[in-house]
Amino acid sequence: MYDYLIVGAGLFGAVFAHEATAAGKRCLVIDKRDHIAGNIYTEDVEGIAVHRYGAHIFHTNNKEVWDYVNRFAEFNRYTNSPVANYKGELYNMPFNMNTFNKMWGVITPAEAQAKIEEQRAAHYTENPQNLEEQAINLVGTDIYEKLVKGYTEKQWGRPCTALPAFIIKRLPVRFTFDNNYFNALYQGIPNEGYTALVANLLDGIEVRLNTDYLADRAALDALAKKVVYTGPIDAYFDYKLGALQYRSVRFETETLDMPNYQGNAVVNYTDSETPYTRIIEHKHFVFGSTEPGTKTVISREYSAEWKPGDEPYYPVNDEENGALYARYKELADAHSHVLFGGRLGEYKYYDMDRVIEVALARVRAELA
Ligand SMILES: Cc1cc2nc3c(=O)[nH]c(=O)nc-3n(C[C@H](O)[C@H](O)[C@H](O)COP(=O)(O)OP(=O)(O)OC[C@H]3O[C@@H](n4cnc5c(N)ncnc54)[C@H](O)[C@@H]3O)c2cc1C
C-alpha cells in the first residue's frame, strides 16, 4: 500500500516524509507517542509555547537549511543570550567583556586578557590530569570557580577533580561585548512553535499516533516496501548486543501567577548548591520580557543518570558505546530494506539543522 513506512514523526521522519511525498511516493508515518514532532514538540500552556523535551533554539550557518525551515514556519529573531546566576551574582554568557567587567571591573579587552593570563600563570599545571586543572589552565581561577565548576559537576554528577581533562578541550572566551551564544549566521524560534512547523511538513501525509512499531512489527512491515526507522537502533535489534547508554535530563515544569519570572529565556545556575542546572522561562523565546500576560511557565532542568526505560536524551560519546554502536551499524547495513536515521537511529547527537541536512541528503539519495 505504501512506498515508505516512516517510524517516528520527529524532524528526521517529517523531512523524509515531506520530500518523498513531494516526489510522488506514498508514505505512512507512525509514532508511539500521542503527538507529532518528536523531541522538538512544543505544547500550548496558557498561550505560551512550552518546549516539553527541553529548550530548542534553531541556529545554523547553512542557508539552504534556513531557507528550508522558513518555508514551513515563520521564525522570530530570538538570539540566545543566557545569563549565569552564581549565588545571586548575575553574569552574561558566553564569557565575554560584559562577564569580565562584572567579575573584575575591567574596562578594556587588554585588561581582561591580562587578568586571565595572570590567573592562568599563577595556577598553571603542566600536564592537566583532570577537568579542574584543564579548565584553570584555559580560563584561570575566578571564571572556573564561579561559572564552570558547579555547573559541570551537576551535569556529570561527580567532582571536576574526578572528571577527565579531555572533556573540556577549549572554553571560548570573547574579548568583545557580544552576548550572542551561538556563532551562527541564522537563529530564531518558530512564532507558532515547533509542532506547527512539523505539522506543516506532514501536511497531507497519513500519520498514526500511539503506534509502536516494535509492538506490531510484522503487520506494519507488510504495509510498505521500505521502512525508515528513527527509533533507537539497539531496540530495533531487541538489544541483542546489549543496550546503548544515554545521559538524561529531568524537567520540572511549573505555571506561575506572574507575568515575568526571570526576565530571560535561559538562566544557568552555576553554583553547586542549587540542585538544578538551568531554569527556562518559555515565554521569552517568543515574546521578549515586555509582553503583557498574567502567567508564565518555567522548567527547572536536572541532570540525571539514565537507566533503561528512561527517555534517552544524549548519546554517551565514549569508546565503549561507540564500539557497540559500530556493531549495531553492521547489522543495520545488512538490512537493506530499512533506512536508519535521526538521533536515535544513528546514535548521534544532532542539532536540528544537521538532522534536516542529513534527512535531505538521505531522501535525495534514496529517490535518485
Ligand atoms: C535536551 C535537548 C535540547 C536540545 N536543544 C537543541 C537546540 O537548542 N537546538 C538544536 O538545534 N537542537 C537541539 N536538540 C537536538 C534536537 O532535539 C534533535 O536534533 C531532534 O529532536 C532530532 O530529531 P529526530 O527526528 O532525529 O529524533 P526525535 O525527535 O527523537 O524523533 C524520533 C521519534 O521516533 C519515535 N519512536 C521511537 N521509537 C519508536 C517506535 N518503536 N515506534 C514508533 N515511534 C517511535 C519517538 O517517539 C520520536 O517521536 C536538543 C536535544 C536535547 C536532548
Q: Which amino acid is at 58?
A: F
Determine how many CB atoms are found less than 10 A away from the CB of residue 76: 14
Cα 298 to Cα 79, 152, 315, 321, 350: the distances in Å are 19, 22, 26, 34, 25
Q: Are strands 338-340 and 314-315 parallel, antiparallel or unpaired?
A: unpaired
Name the closest-CA residue to atom 6, ligand 1.
56
* Helix, strand, coil percent values for the chain (each to nearest 5): 35, 20, 40
**pLDDT bucket at 291, cuts 50 / 70 / 90:** low
Least confident interval from 103-107, 180-184, 248-252, 310-314: 310-314
82 lines ligand 1 (CB under 6 A): no
Residue 288: the pLDDT is: 57
| Termini Cα distance of the chain | 21
Query: What is the C-alpha separation between 60 and 68, in angstroms, rounded?
Result: 12
**pLDDT bucket at 92, cuts 50 / 70 / 90:** very high
Name the closest-CA residue to atom 14, ligand 1.
351
pLDDT in tens, 164-185: 898 888 888 999 999 999 989 9
- Tell me which range, 59-63, 286-290, 293-297, is most confidently predicted by mean pLDDT: 59-63
pTM for the predicted model, two decimal places: 0.94
Name the closest-CA residue to atom 17, ligand 1.
39
149 lines ligand 1 (CB under 6 A): no
In this prediction, what percent of the chain has a pLDDT beyond 90? Answer: 88
CATH fold of 2-78+185-245+316-367: Rossmann fold (3.40.50)
Residue 50: the pLDDT is: 97
pLDDT in tens, 205-233: 999 999 999 999 999 999 999 999 999 99
Half-sphere exposure of residue 318: CA atoms within 13 angstroms, side-chain side:
9
Query: What is the C-alpha separation between 296 and 45, in angstroms, rounded?
Result: 9
**8 Å CB contact between 18 and 352:** no
12 lines ligand 1 (CB under 6 A): yes
Q: Is the pLDDT of residue 310 over 90?
A: no
Residues linked to residue 7 through DSSP beta bridges, in sequence order: 30, 229
Residues linked to residue 248 through DSSP beta bridges, in sequence order: 304
pLDDT in tens, 145-169: 999 999 999 988 889 999 989 888 8
Q: To test the ligand 1 pocket, which listed residue (28, 30, 39) has its Cβ within 8 A of the most ligand atoms?
A: 39
User: For cell 587578568, what's the residue?
Assistant: 115
197 lines ligand 1 (CB under 6 A): no
**pLDDT bucket at 308, cuts 50 / 70 / 90:** confident
**pLDDT bucket at 290, cuts 50 / 70 / 90:** low
pLDDT in tens, 230-270: 999 999 999 999 999 998 899 999 999 999 999 999 999 99
Residue 293: the pLDDT is: 83
Q: To test the ligand 1 pocket, which listed residue (75, 306, 343) has its Cβ within 8 A of the most ligand atoms?
A: 343
**8 Å CB contact between 359 and 353:** no
Q: Is the pLDDT of residue 133 over 90?
A: yes
Name the closest-CA residue to atom 38, ligand 1.
231
E strand residue ranges, the chain: 2-7, 27-30, 42-45, 48-51, 58-60, 83-86, 89-92, 186-188, 206-208, 224-229, 246-256, 266-269, 278-281, 296-305, 314-315, 338-340
Domain boundaries, the chain: 2-78+185-245+316-367, 94-168, 247-305
pLDDT in tens, 320-354: 999 999 999 999 999 989 999 999 999 999 999 99
User: For cell 505512512, what's the residue?
Assistant: 28
